[in-house]
Amino acid sequence: MTKPRKFEKILVANRGEIAVRVQRTCRELGRKTVAVFSDPDRHALHVRYADEAYPLGGAAPAETYLDQSKLFDIARRCGADAVHPGYGFLSENPSFAAACRERGLVFIGPSAESIEMMGEKTRARERMSRAGVPVVPGTPPLAAASEAQAEARRIGFPVLIKAAAGGGGKGIRRVDRADDLVPAFDACRREALSAFGDDRVYIEKYVDEPHHIEFQILADGRGRTIHLFERECSIQRRHQKIVEETPSPLMTADLRARMGAAAIKAAEACGYVNAGTIEFLVDADRRFYFLEMNTRLQVEHPITEMVTGVDLVERQIRIAEGEPLEDLHLSQRGTAMECRIYAEDPWNHFLPSPGLIRKLSPPGGPGVRDDTGVYAGFTVPMEYDPLLAKLVVWGENRQQTLARMDRALAEYRMIGIRTNLLYLRRIVRHPEFGKGVYDTHFLMKHQDELLKAEPSGRETVALAAAAVLAWRGEAKKSAGPTSGKTVPSPWKLSGRPGGSDS
């Protein structure tokens, strides 16, 4: 048995809020951190926060955060003894995990073998089925559209066509009729090849009115695996999560016990070590099916931390250092919710909104946590995912958590770029969401209400206030003897939803 050893220096191979999140725990543990940064991220918060920072050169992900040779060169130069991949980028890349091991670097995550085993969706489904974990009816990778047609008729419409190497909501097509299958099959293959470099796709039975529920697991190198309860992730747009909460409004004690046991069984079936997430679909009759395993830290991990009191990044590091999982007296205390704040314009087809953040005033008060990677004066680059921050709140019960999230979203001010803050607030304030009556179709079902043209009441006041601040800044820029410019009225600026702090 390997004797535990403490890392002295950890290279965080990521950017944005997750890099800052990892660095904060490292600082509490007394571990030095090394940041890497692209040219657009030269002045990013994660660069400022780290003990050391090294340039990657370039802007595109392929030549920066995905360039393994650059990362390993920096790790050698700075003397790092471990790498934390965060989420996204190389976090679920088995070749990167294996290359870390070959170079004597500890990859803070599962083994390359576990990542590869669970990363290919059809192989993961087969392994789970053999382990006795319920899986959605489906197929292995299919070579031709003619095979897909035959399998879809066997399974029954509607079906999903999914990328075998997929993730993050990419490479998925729903097909309701046989006539639509061939073009959807071809389109999914093209998207899969573009996104993952692998055009293999398979078919899965579409589960009607599903809930997307995941279980957080931790496993040490001594054979112990535990779960830290569930997260409800059904508020999704194009298969990407926007709002998450725990406990799930759908959950019962019996269902939690059965799903938790299945999650542990799934992790043990692939010899998993470190933090991971087992994702399930749950139908209207509360039957659950294995969907996939995320072999990394999840974006939404803070809500689990809020209700359990467990620092998941700390546990990741300690497990990677060889420590066993201590006896945790786990329980769910209260409820927690997370809203993902994006630099995007919901009223313009959710297009990204890069640019300069002129003013930033995050919310505060009891039970409020803002995980962010930006600050006033930072220019949000266009090259990367538009996630700016994660607003997380905790309450004694769901009613208090909802009220607290509504209040926190109303307080949040980010001037200079368009965001989805108003859109998130409308979700949280929706009556059906308030009752906990929702599934993965919620945003589509209520899109007209959520994207209504004119804000009203407090929304109008908030937008007007933001517009006044923005207008004052523009007025100062335009002032002077040679200006000659007409500055638009702030009230006209505030009339359009999706404005400076929407």
Q: Which of 292, 286, 193, 302 is nearest to 244 (CA)?
A: 302
User: Cα–Cα distance between 498 and 291 in angstroms, integer?
Assistant: 34
Residue 186 phi, psi (nearest 5):
-65, -40
User: Cα–Cα distance between 490 and 496 in angstroms, integer?
Assistant: 11
Helix (H) or strand (E) holding 387, with range, is: strand 387-395
Strand residue runs (E) in 16-169 = 32-37, 52-55, 82-84, 106-107, 159-167
User: Cα–Cα distance between 471 and 467 in angstroms, integer?
Assistant: 6
Give the count of alpha carbons within 13 A of 177, CB side only: 2
Q: What is the pLDDT of residues 138-187, one digit of tens each?
A: 998 998 999 999 999 999 999 999 998 876 677 899 999 999 999 999 99
pLDDT of residue 474: 42
Read off the amino acid at residue 78.
C
> How many other CB atoms sit within 10 Å of the CB of residue 495?
16
pLDDT of residue 459: 53
User: Cα–Cα distance between 41 and 45 in angstroms, integer?
Assistant: 9
Q: Which residues contact 471 (CB under 8 A, 6 or more apart)?
A: 487, 488, 489, 490, 493
pLDDT of residue 177: 92
User: Cα–Cα distance between 410 and 203 in angstroms, integer?
Assistant: 42
Answer positive or negative: Cα dihedral of 72, 77, 82, 88.
negative
Terminal-to-terminal C-alpha distance of the chain: 54
pLDDT of residue 328: 79
pLDDT of residue 471: 44
Query: How many residues are given for the chain?
Result: 502
Residue 61 phi, psi (nearest 5):
-55, -40
Largest CA distance in the chain: 78
Read off the amino acid at residue 111.
S
Q: Which residues of 49-69 are buried (b: 16+ CB within 10 A; e: fewer)?
A: bbebbbebebbebeebbbbee
Q: What 3-state class would DSSP assign to 99?
A: helix
| Catalytic (active site) residue 296 | yes
pLDDT of residue 326: 80
Number of H helices, E strands in the chain: 18, 22
Pairing status of strand 32-37 against strand 9-12: parallel
* 459, two tokens: 């929304």
Angle CA 23–42–240, to nearest 5: 65
Catalytic residue, candidates 15, 256, 296, 425: 296
Third-level CATH fold of 339-458:
D-amino Acid Aminotransferase; Chain A, domain 1 (3.30.470)
pTM: 0.85
pLDDT of residue 122: 82
Q: How far is CA 121 from CA 162, 201, 211, 218, 450, in A?
A: 9, 9, 19, 21, 33
> Can you say how many angstroms the Cα of residue 432 is from the centroid of all Cα atoms in its chain?
24
User: Cα–Cα distance between 157 and 475 in angstroms, integer?
Assistant: 58
Q: What 3-state class would DSSP assign to 211?
A: strand
Contact 302, 338 (CB under 8 A): yes
* 222, two tokens: 């001594």
- Domain layout of the chain by residue ranges: 9-108, 137-205, 339-458, 459-493
User: Cα–Cα distance between 459 and 206 in angstroms, integer?
Assistant: 37
- Tokens 């290279």 sit at which residue? 11
Question: 255 in the Ramachandran plot: left (φ > 0), alpha (ψ -120 to 50) or beta?
Answer: alpha
User: Cα–Cα distance between 153 and 369 in angstroms, integer?
Assistant: 48
- Out of 1.10.10.10, 2.40.30.10, 3.30.2320.50, 3.40.50.20, select the CATH number for domain 9-108: 3.40.50.20
pLDDT of residue 492: 35
Reported for 445-451, long-range contacts at CB under 8 A and 24+ positions apart, including other chains, are: 450/346, 450/423, 450/426, 451/346, 451/347, 451/423, 451/497
What's the average pLDDT block by block, 10 residues per block, for the chain (502 residues)?
84 98 98 98 98 98 97 98 97 97 98 93 89 92 92 92 81 92 94 88 90 98 96 95 97 98 97 97 93 96 98 97 88 97 97 97 98 98 97 98 98 97 98 97 96 64 48 44 38 34 36
Helix (H) or strand (E) holding 11, with range, is: strand 9-12
* 76, two tokens: 């050698």
- Tokens 């087992």 sit at which residue? 278
pLDDT of residue 3: 74
pLDDT of residue 24: 98
- Burial class from Cβ neighbours inside 10 Å (0-12, 13-18, 19+) for residue 130 reads exposed
pLDDT of residue 456: 55
Give the CATH number of domain 137-205: 3.30.1490.20
Q: What is the pLDDT of residues 326-369, one digit of tens each?
A: 877 899 999 999 999 999 999 999 999 999 999 999 999 999 99
Pairing status of strand 82-84 against strand 32-37: unpaired
Contact 169, 145 (CB under 8 A): no
